Homo-oligomer: A and B are copies of this chain.
Amino acid sequence: MATRTAAERREEARQAFDAYFAECPSRKLLDRLSDKWVTLVLTALEDGPRRYSDLARRIAGVSQKMLTQTLRGLERDGLVTRTLTPSVPVRVDYALTPLGESLMPLVSAIKGWAERHIEDVEEARRRYDACPGA
């Protein structure tokens, strides 16, 4: 009888892996970019600062909760700045930081690959779905 069962060993491995993941830079970046709204907010800001309500209008379909949550996250990560003007009513502007701007070429690269190759993916998908038996 072993000191650990197979399940215990797997669980152990999973936890070690999660810990490894929490420390993996690429993973962190992917997690950020993969968020549904992050890239949209970033691209909405690439031409200059935008007001909160402006962003809400440009990114149609986003809920207040998600927009605020996304902006807070990006601000926390140092990718965007939040500038509050204490007029009445209040006015808040968001803008990309240099760090945020340095991320944009990456987004373009992704966009580029997708545009060049997505048709191949679609095609492969159709072929795969068309042949249930093989």
Contact = CB atoms under 8 A, between A and B. Distances in A.
A99 interface: yes
A99 B76 contact: no
Contacts of A29: 110, 113-114, 118
A121 B77 contact: yes
Interface string A64-85: 0000000000011111000000
Contact of A34 (B10, B17, B34): B34
Count class of interface residues, chain A: 35 or more
30 contacts: A13-B60, A13-B61, A14-B60, A16-B61, A17-B60, A17-B62, A21-B36, A25-B118, A26-B39, A26-B111, A26-B115, A28-B114, A29-B118, A30-B34, A31-B34, A33-B110, A76-B124, A77-B121, A78-B120, A78-B121, A78-B125, A78-B128, A79-B121, A99-B117, A99-B120, A99-B121, A102-B117, A103-B113, A106-B110, A109-B109
A123 B76 CA distance: 10
